[in-house]
Structure 1
Amino acid sequence: MNHRRPYTAHACSKETTITAAEADFAAQFGLSPREICGRAVSDLLQAGAPGRLRHRFTDLCEGRTDCLTERVTGRHGSDRVLTASLTAIAITGPAGLAGIVLLLHPLGKASEPHPHELTLSQLDARLLEGLASGASTAALAARLYLSRQGIEYRVTQLLRRFDAANRPALVGRAHSLGLFVPGQWPSRVRPELIA
């Protein structure tokens, strides 16, 4: 069984194009986070039956379901085939569907750690800095212009990514991995680790 953490990306509901992706998600396709943005999910991945993934995304975007999971295949450049489980979760706001969160779980044997393993998105870096300073969920939500649920979701993703049981353990793990600039208060994520 594969116990690796999922790689995440965000897509807009229109054309289900990727609007943001962590480095590990993009790397599964031999791309950088910047290169993968603007690409349609259905152009990167295929389900077993032709058109099935596109049909399931249509159901998600039109509100007939709020989540889907599908076994998919894709290509990493021209030399390797990616087999993964893709989960897509609809994120709704007051005006309806606000976007889609994508969780990609590569299947098969675990590979060597990816060189971008410690790279953080700008949002996750600011969130981790806020956690290190002891900011509350409400304060982080106001500072980062997210809902409280959005903050909780991102914190949960970071807890899973760094295999930490709670927020203090996450901050401790970040320090032990050298994610923060040494000797600086308030803590700041090292700029070279922000994608």
Structure 2
Amino acid sequence: MSKTESGTRPVHPAGPPDHNPFVALAELAPAAAFMRDRTGRYVWANHAYAHLYGTTRDAVIGLHLSDIDEPADVDRFLAMDRQVLTDGKSVRHTLTYRRPDGSRAHAAGYRFPAAWGSERCVAGIYVDVTDYVRATDQRHRAEADLRALRDHSGLACVRLTPDGRVSEAGIAAAEVLGVRLSDLTGVRADAFLSDPSEHVDLFRAWHDLTSGRRRSARASAVLVAGEGTQRRARVHLTAVGAPATGVTGVWAVATRLGRRRQTQPSPTPAQLRIITLLAAGRSNTDIAEELHLSRQTLDYHLSRLRLLLEAPTRPALVARAYVLGLLSPTAWPPRPPGAARPSGPV
């Protein structure tokens, strides 16, 4: 501040604030605001701007950028001022500055051309975003840590969308579920449950998480792998998202995995009826109308059947149904063994 004390600062005419709309607006604003002439010398600053540098507004007015900022920043700021004055347009800007205690802080705002009496100047208004930047960095680090945990911990981790579909998954999760990692994305998580109707506690916990009532929960589940085996697991659920934006996802981690048990595929009555209609050559539209199902519900059942019977296509589903004895090999129209012959066509 030696230049301030020496009395070498030029004096700029500073009319009453109400003669300058920007000054009248920013004088008492919590945002940091300033005006500089084309040489980089301050003609006006508010208290919030001076506070960023640990001084008073009267001490700032008349100083040059080089008196309060580091040389590298001075060159950059002057170049931006020249751009604003040349183009006559506002510029959105994010800057890093050093606080009086030596810590680095961040601010974001705009610079734009303005008049100070008859002089053409650059005005700026900024808000401190240090806490926001710090929180964003912490969130990014936390997400990176979660992905490292997902990929290298050996835990079966998946991230689910609020509607229950897999958006991310780790290799261990794909191995537990017996499917390729690339095939997990987009699949409904309840397609891997032995019988969704038996998992009341799990679905209750899920509803509490996605509605924002809870941040974490635990429940037991019986998982069905792609090869048809089942194993019991403890599922840990953690909601992702801020209260203001709502839940954006849920991390699910399966632990305490029990031993694999080979089970005979047992479609539900509705799924068995779908297989019967598939074997009869009916289209998805026909099946949905016949069983009074929405296309979304039918797609869910077909996805579940593909996992249950290890059959990726419609012909494979029908073939597996005959091999497993789910359909009678001697009956037409197709029907399960022991089912009464229908009185009319399927």
User: Aligned partners of 1:55, 1:140: CA distance in 2, in Å?
Assistant: 33
Within-5 A mapping of 1:123-134: 123-134=270-281
Alignment length (residue pairs): 128
Which of 289, 313, 318 pairs up with 1:166? 313
Normalised by the size of structure 1, how large is the TM-score?
0.52
Structure 2 unpaired stretches of 5+: 1-174, 179-190, 223-230, 238-253, 340-346
> Which residue in 2 is equivalent to 1:107?
257
User: Aligned partners of 2:275, 2:205: CA distance in 1, in Å?
Assistant: 37
Tell whether the 8 Å contact from 1:132 to 1:171 is kept in structure 2 after alignment: yes
User: Aligned partners of 2:219, 2:328: CA distance in 1, in Å?
Assistant: 39
Matched to 1:158, the amino acid is L
> Which residue in 2 is equivalent to 1:36?
none
**CA, structure 1 residues 176+187, in 2 after alignment: closer, same or farther (shift >3 Å)?**
same
User: Aligned partners of 1:105, 1:145: CA distance in 2, in Å?
Assistant: 38
SS in 2 for 1:83: strand
Tell whether the 8 Å contact from 1:2 to 1:110 is kept in structure 2 after alignment: no
> Which residue in 2 is equivalent to 1:57?
207
Within-5 A mapping of 1:23-172: 41-42=200-201, 56-60=206-210, 62=211, 72-73=219-220, 82-85=232-235, 107-111=257-261, 113-114=262-263, 117-172=264-319
User: Aligned partners of 2:258, 2:296: CA distance in 1, in Å?
Assistant: 32
> Which residue in 1 is equivalent to 2:192?
6
Deviations 1:45-84 (Å, cap 9, x if unpaired)?
A: 6xxxxxxx85642243x4x69xxx9763379xxxxx9424
SS in 2 for 1:2: helix
* Structure that is richer in helix per residue: 2
Q: CA RMSD in A?
A: 3.9
Structure 1 unpaired stretches of 5+: 11-19, 26-40, 46-52, 76-80, 88-103
User: Aligned partners of 1:137, 1:6: CA distance in 2, in Å?
Assistant: 22
Matched to 1:182, the amino acid is P
User: Aligned partners of 1:70, 1:154: CA distance in 2, in Å?
Assistant: 27
1:173 Cα deviation (Å)?
0.9
**CA, structure 1 residues 56+157, in 2 after alignment: closer, same or farther (shift >3 Å)?**
closer
Tell whether the 8 Å contact from 1:71 to 1:83 is kept in structure 2 after alignment: no
User: Aligned partners of 2:205, 2:317: CA distance in 1, in Å?
Assistant: 38
SS in 2 for 1:183: coil
User: Identical aligned pairs, as a percentage?
Assistant: 27
User: Aligned partners of 2:270, 2:236: CA distance in 1, in Å?
Assistant: 23
User: Aligned partners of 2:209, 2:306: CA distance in 1, in Å?
Assistant: 30
Which of 170, 179, 189 pairs up with 2:336? 189
1:126 Cα deviation (Å)?
0.6
1:119 Cα deviation (Å)?
2.3
Tell whether the 8 Å contact from 1:129 to 1:189 is kept in structure 2 after alignment: yes
Tell whether the 8 Å contact from 1:85 to 1:107 is kept in structure 2 after alignment: no
User: Aligned partners of 1:144, 1:105: CA distance in 2, in Å?
Assistant: 38
Tell whether the 8 Å contact from 2:327 to 2:335 is kept in structure 1 after alignment: yes
User: Aligned partners of 1:173, 1:86: CA distance in 2, in Å?
Assistant: 34
Matched to 2:207, the amino acid is F
Tell whether the 8 Å contact from 2:265 to 2:308 is kept in structure 1 after alignment: no
User: Aligned partners of 1:153, 1:139: CA distance in 2, in Å?
Assistant: 16
Tell whether the 8 Å contact from 2:326 to 2:337 is kept in structure 1 after alignment: yes
1:6 Cα deviation (Å)?
2.1
Normalised by the size of structure 2, how large is the TM-score?
0.31
